[in-house]
Amino acid sequence: MSIQMTGIDHTKASVDVRTIFSFTKKNIADAFEAWKDIPGLCGCVIISTCNRMEVWASVQEDEEPDLFELLCREKNVDVAQYRRYAVNRRDKEAVEHLFELSCGLKSRILGEDQIITQVKDALAFAREHYAADNVLEVLFRMAVTAAKKVKTEILLRDRDSSVIHRAAEVLKEQGYVLRDKKCMVIGNGEMGKLSAGLLLLEGAEVTVTVRQYRSGIVDIPAGCQRIDYGRRMEIFPSCDYVVSATASPNYTLKKADILELDLKKPVVLIDLAVPRDIEPCVEDIEGITRFDIDDFDAGHLSEQTLQDIARAKEILREQMREFYDWYEGRDVIAKVQQVRAAAVEDFHLRTQKQVRELEKLSMMPPEESRAQLQTFQEYMEAAAGKVINKMMFGLRGKVSERTFCECVEALGELYGQKDTYRKQGKQAGGDSVGDGKAGN
């Protein structure tokens, strides 16, 4: 078994390329359905955010599918054309990446708060569609747990972390003012609500668009006004800023629609969506300034931040060791369960006759039943001893003397018999465990 991932992210691909490989929930469900019978693919999880798209898989090492080829086939694009944008990782490199990703160390904005939820939701969606196997289930759960621990113990930023917060910083650095300005937020998802809430805190007047069929059942941040999405162009000319952050596959703002308006003042458009919400060519219109998600970078890291990153990685390494312990021992656990089942069956076969006799005790005189019960107990102890001897001396014949001694010592410690084997040794040429016979 091998853990692998392939992806497209902001480190190598522009927003236009990332748009090609972005997934909606329906797209992800369709991909799970298409890939479920691919040989060698045991489990799959897909993470799709504004800055990255990653396909995670547990695969059989003797029959490994090309994940990026599967991805390109699903997106109906040429593998050769886009292979240079792909990032591929496997096993420990992949595990380390996921743990760092989950707590925001891999984000464009360091320590952003949304990614941990996105990773958790990706696993939940895969689980819902029976796509995630046990390996990915444990890996993603442990990565989220580690991220929570980092978030609890280390403050990677001195303020809330999200792309809209960074957008506000960039705007201020360039001389833009938000206070007392009229803003429209298109979209009422998680990013839309964050955007509306931040603009309110900055002192802006905020209107949020809501789809008509949802207008009576959705909440918007307190203090915001709401309008139906279909009326967005009516208030557009009065806005100083328009933020668009939807999951729509279509443009929410088009050049042709804006050209039909009578604009009296400049408007700043902020596109926080992947795929894009705002048609890029709108910036050709006089008075329109457009920003997209790639315009908001994390900037320089202070010495304190670098120290915090180092501390975060220490926490992650500790949590990763727990995953590796589980991952490397999972085959042993399965074998132990098989041995246990075989031993139980062996014990059952040795004692089934006596168990049937035990059922007759209630019909016997008290003295006779007590004698029979004593005999039964002695037989059960003897049967258990034979099963244990069979296991122990069978093991001794398969491993070295040193390994066998270490196994006996470990078992002895479990029952408070430390150093039993070394102290007793081989007494008079005999064995210190049982009677020296493996039993039948």
Burial of 194 (0-12, 13-18, 19+ CB in 10 A): buried
Print burial letters for 156-175: b (CB count within 10 Å at least 16), e (below 16): bbeeebbbbbbbbebbeeee
Burial of 286 (0-12, 13-18, 19+ CB in 10 A): exposed
3-state helix, strand, coil in the chain (%, to 5): 55, 15, 30
DSSP H helices in 50-90: 67-75, 79-82
Q: What SS3 state is found at 245?
A: coil
Question: Residue 84 contacts by C-beta under 8 Å, 6 or more apart in sequence?
Answer: 12
The answer to whether 326 touches 334, Cβ cutoff 8 Å, is no
| Residue 216, both tokens | 């009576």
| Residue 74, both tokens | 């699903």
Nearest alpha carbon to residue 10 among 407, 219, 298, 306 = 298
Cα dihedral 343, 344, 345, 349 sign: positive
42, 44, 50, 405: which is the annotated catalytic residue?
50
Q: What is the dihedral of CA 414, 418, 421, 423, to 10 degrees?
A: -170
What is the distance between the alpha carbons of residues 14 and 162, in angstroms, rounded to a whole number?
19
Nearest alpha carbon to residue 261 among 280, 243, 286 = 286
Check if 103 is active-site.
no
Give CA separation, 309 vs 165, 205, 208, 315, in Å: 20, 37, 36, 10
Give CA separation, 25 vs 49, 134, 190, in Å: 11, 22, 15
Question: Residue 191 contacts by C-beta under 8 Å, 6 or more apart in sequence?
Answer: 114, 162, 163, 164, 245, 272, 273
What is the distance between the alpha carbons of residues 42 and 401, in angstroms, rounded to a whole number?
39
Query: Would you please indicate which residues are annotated as catalytic (active-site) residues?
Result: 50
